[in-house]
Amino acid sequence: MRSLAAGLLLALCAASATAQDVLVVTPDDLRPALDDWSAHRVAQGHEIQIVAPGDNVRATIRAAHAASDGQLAYVVLLGDVDRVPCAYRPADAIAEWEKDPRIATDAPYADVDDDGVPDLALGRVTADSVDECRAMLARSIAYEQNTDHGTWRRRLNVVAGVGGFGPQQDMALEMLMRLFMNRDVPPQVDLHFTYAKTQSPFCPPPSEMAATFIERINEGSLVTAYVGHGSARNVDRIRHGDRVFPILEARHVPEIAVRRGSPLLVFVACSTGSLDGEQDCLAEEALRRPAGPAAVIASSRVSTPYGNAILGTEMVRALFHGDEPTVGRLLLDVKRRMAGDAGDDMARKQIEAMAGAFYVEDAERRRVDRREHVLLYHLFGDPLLRLARPRAATLKEPTRGRAGEAMTIEGTSPIAGRVLVEVLPRRDRNARLRVPPKDDAGFRSGYDGANVRPVASAEVTLETAGDYTVELALPAELTFGRYLVRVFVEGSDGSALAGATVRIEPAR
C-alpha cells in the first residue's frame, strides 16, 4: 500500500504544470528509490518533477527550468556518471598540473543563463542501484529528523596537511590558518584543529593520523573538513623521521561509523571528488558508508592553493555568517561569491594580496582560476539537505572581566533548555611550533592539550524561551588578554548559540 501511495504521489508531482521547484534527473530503473524521499520533501512543501537524463542532460534541465516559469531551484542527479553523464570543460588555470585536459563537472547543468555562474542548487547521489540510492536518500531524512540537539551541532573539525610549497608560501598559509582560527570562525563555534606537521602541538602521533581523522568524523560535527593535498582515493601523508604515514586513504573509509550527528564532509584538496574515475573516489566511498557523512563536497580534478583558499573562506562565511538553509543552497552561494571579486571582504583581500605575491600577479588570471574552481567542486549527496545549524541566540557582550571575580553573562534564547556558558582562551594560544616529541606519548600529550578548553563554565536551565542570566567565576590565575565567550542552549526541540570576545584583566 505504501509503494502504491508513494507512486501516486510521484505521479501527481510529475504532472504538475509549472510549480516544480525540484527536478530529479535519473534513469527509469532508479525511480523506485525516490518513494520515501519524495514523500518527505513534498511534506516540506516542495514539488518534484522526475525525468530521464535524455541525450543531453543540460538541455533536459534547461527545458524543465523554462517549463517551471523560473521556479526550479534544486536539481538532484540520481545515479553515477555512467547513468547520468557529467559534462566536460577544458582545463585552463590547472592545466600546468592536471594531466587530463578536461574538467569533469556537473556545474554547467546549474547554469541556466550561460554566464559561467550557477543559478540552481545541484547535487549528485552517486549510487549504482536502487538499494544504494534509497540508503543514501534515507540518510538525508534521518539527518533532518535527528532529535539529538547536542553540542555536535556547533562543532567544526579541521584536519590540515602541510603545504610544501616553500618556506615563504607555507608561512603565509599558516598565517591564513591562524586568522581563520581567530577571526573568521565565530567565537561560538567549537573549533577542533588537527595539523599533520610534526612540529605543531596540533599533531597527533603520526602513526595514528588516519585513525585520528576517522575519529574526527565519527565523533559527529556540523562540518569536518580536510585542507591540503589530495588525489582521487587518498589525501596527503605525514613524514616523521624516515617513515611516512597516511592521513587518510580509501582503505580507511570502511572505519567511518558516525556515532552522533553525521557531518558535512568537505575536502578542500585536489581530485578527492573525481566523479568520473575508473574507481570510486574518496568522496563517493565516504558517502556510501551506512553511518557516513550527511554529504560530501570535493573537487574532481587538481585544485590550486589560491582557489582552495577562496573556497575555504567563502565556505566559512556561508556556514557561520550566512543563512542558506540547505547544503545545496550553501554551495551555490559559495560558488557565486567565488566567481566575483573580493569587494570589501578583508579575508578575501588578504588572499588576493598573497596570491599576487606568490601565485599569479595578473588579476584576470586569478579570476579564471576562481571560475575554474566553480567547475571543479561538487556536492555529493542531496542538495535539499537542511543543515543542522543551531538557531541564533543573543548575547549582551561583556566588555571586560577580571580574573578572580565573577562575570555576568546575559542574553536571549529563542528556545528553552539548558544554557551552557563557557570562557576560553584564543584558539591559537598553543600554536607555537616546537621540537617534535620523541615518542607517541609526547605527541598525544601535546595534541590533547593543543585545542583550547574552557577555563570557566556555568549553566542554568531556561524554562521558557527568553532572557537568561548566568554568573560564572573567573579563575584568579587567568592572564591578561582576549578570551572567547560562547553560549549554547540545548532544548528538546532544537539548539541555539551565541558568542563574543571579552578582554580579561589580571586579578587585583
| CATH code for the domain of 140 | 3.40.50.1460
Q: Which one is predicted more confidently, 348 or 267?
A: 267
211 plus 358 within the same structural domain: yes
Band the pLDDT of 498: cuts 50, 70, 90: very high
pTM of the complete model = 0.94
| CATH code for the domain of 461 | 2.60.40.10
pLDDT for 4: 41
Distance from C-alpha of 177 to C-alpha of 185, rounded to nearest angstrom: 11
Q: What does the DSSP 8-state code read for residue 180?
A: I
Q: Which of the listed residues 44, 72, 100 is the one where a domain comes to its end? A: 72
- Looking at the domain assignment, is residue 84 inside a domain? no
* Residue type, position 64, single letter: A
Helix axes 327-339, 363-376, angle to 10 degrees: 160
Q: What are phi and psi of 492, to 5 degrees?
A: -75, -20
341 plus 399 within the same structural domain: no
150 plus 266 within the same structural domain: yes
368 plus 399 within the same structural domain: no
232 plus 368 within the same structural domain: yes
pLDDT for 3: 44
268 plus 339 within the same structural domain: yes
Q: What is the pLDDT of residues 171-193, one digit of tens each?
A: 777 777 777 777 889 999 999 99
pLDDT for 175: 73
Band the pLDDT of 19: cuts 50, 70, 90: low
Q: Which of the listed residues 56, 72, 88 is the one where a domain comes to its end? A: 72
376 plus 410 within the same structural domain: no
224 plus 355 within the same structural domain: yes
Q: What is the pLDDT of residues 278-308, one digit of tens each?
A: 999 999 999 999 999 999 999 999 999 999 9
- Looking at the domain assignment, is residue 326 inside a domain? yes
- Looking at the domain assignment, is residue 115 inside a domain? no
- Looking at the domain assignment, is residue 42 inside a domain? yes
pLDDT for 252: 98
Tally of domains within the chain: 3
348 plus 422 within the same structural domain: no
pLDDT for 1: 38
pLDDT for 167: 74
372 plus 489 within the same structural domain: no
> And the C-alpha cell for 184?
573568521
Band the pLDDT of 5: cuts 50, 70, 90: very low
300 plus 399 within the same structural domain: no
Query: What is the span of the domain harbouring residue 496?
Result: 391-505
Distance from C-alpha of 156 to C-alpha of 185, rounded to nearest angstrom: 9
Q: What is the pLDDT of residues 337-366, one digit of tens each?
A: 999 988 888 888 888 888 888 888 899 999
Sign for the CA dihedral angle at 330, 336, 342, 348 comes to: positive
> And the C-alpha cell for 477?
590565575
- Give me the long-range contacts of 353-359 (CB less than 8 A, separation at least 24): 354/172, 354/176, 355/306, 355/309, 357/172, 358/165, 358/168, 358/169, 358/172, 359/304, 359/305, 359/306
Distance from C-alpha of 19 to C-alpha of 232, rounded to nearest angstrom: 39
- pLDDT at residue 89 greater than cutoff 60: yes
Straight-line distance from the first to the last Cα atom of the chain, in angstroms, rounded to the nearest whole number: 74
Q: What is the pLDDT of residues 396-451, one digit of tens each?
A: 977 789 999 999 999 999 999 999 999 999 998 998 889 999 999 999 999 999 99
pLDDT for 17: 36
Q: What is the pLDDT of residues 206-225, one digit of tens each?
A: 999 999 999 999 999 999 99
pLDDT for 12: 43
Strands of 295-299's sheet in order across:
48-51, 22-25, 74-78, 121-125, 377-380, 295-299, 264-268, 223-227, 155-160, 190-195
